[in-house]
Amino acid sequence: MHTYDISLTISPDMPVWPGDPAVMLERFEKMENGGNANVSRIAMSVHTGTHVDAPYHFIASGKTVEHLSIITLTGRAYVLHLPDVDRITAAVLEKADIPPRTRRILFRTRNSEVWARQENDFKSNFVAITADGAQYLADRGFKLVGVDYLSVAPFKEGKPTHEILLNAGVVVLEGLNLSQVSQGRYTLYCLPLKLANCDGAPARAILVGV
């Protein structure tokens, strides 16, 4: 049994969504300056690195992140490799061999290689799920969808994919690093920070081989 940490490391030099605040992570109490202890503070968008989107991210009356179900965030998951696609469409999903009764699906695409190479510039040509792909997943009862770049939706096409998934109650997990993970079944543990009244939250996510 192997455990994979599929979370990105949060640091000031990591890429963030264009227009979002960069990560600020600094010590404000320093032992070398006579402080009693080292104490750091952090400021960043809640959509930084590995994180979940709450429905409230795109739906004004939607649930906020502290109300997402832990039952949905943990449990059996399937990692699907799609190394050669530029967009995850309904046609791509139809052709893929997703085991029946899969409720949580994580897509490993060429995006994960960007994390493996530790490239820190924002890539606008990342692989993401189209509106018809999102509709396919919502219609088939998926409860959690994970992607390996900073948005589940293609660049500059954010609204439709997010709205379809979040309206259907699908938990959206973004910013995964799946570069070390083979296609197959795992148990997912995804634990977002319990932030009050918030549209998303950073999460630690791991996969355990089954």
Question: So which residues are the catalytic ones?
Answer: 57
Residue type, 76: R
50/130 with CB nearer Zn ion: 50
x-or-dash string of contact with Zn ion, 168-197, rule CB under 5 A: ------x-----------------------
To the nearest whole angstrom, how small is the minimum distance from the Cβ of residue 51 to Zn ion?
Answer: 6
Nearest distance from C-beta of residue 180 to Zn ion, angstroms: 23
Query: Distance between CA atoms of 147 and 151, rounded to whole angstroms?
Result: 7
User: Which lies closer to Zn ion via its Cβ, residue 47 or residue 143?
Assistant: 47
- Dihedral sign, Cα of residue 9, residue 11, residue 15, residue 21: positive
Among 15, 45, 50, 53, contact with Zn ion (rule: CB under 5 A): 53
Does residue 40 contact residue 74 with C-beta atoms inside 8 Å? no
CA distance 9 to 24: 13
Q: Does 163 bind Zn ion (CB under 5 A)?
A: no
**SS3 state of residue 76:** strand
**What is the closest distance, in whole angstroms, from the C-beta atom of residue 176 to Zn ion in the complex?**
12
Question: What tokens does 18 get?
Answer: 């264009």
Closest CB 38 distance from Zn ion, rounded Å: 30
- State the number of binding residues for Zn ion (CB under 5 A): 4
Instruction: Give the strand pairing for 200-209 and 3-5.
Output: antiparallel
Residues forming the site for Zn ion (CB under 5 A): 47, 53, 174, 200
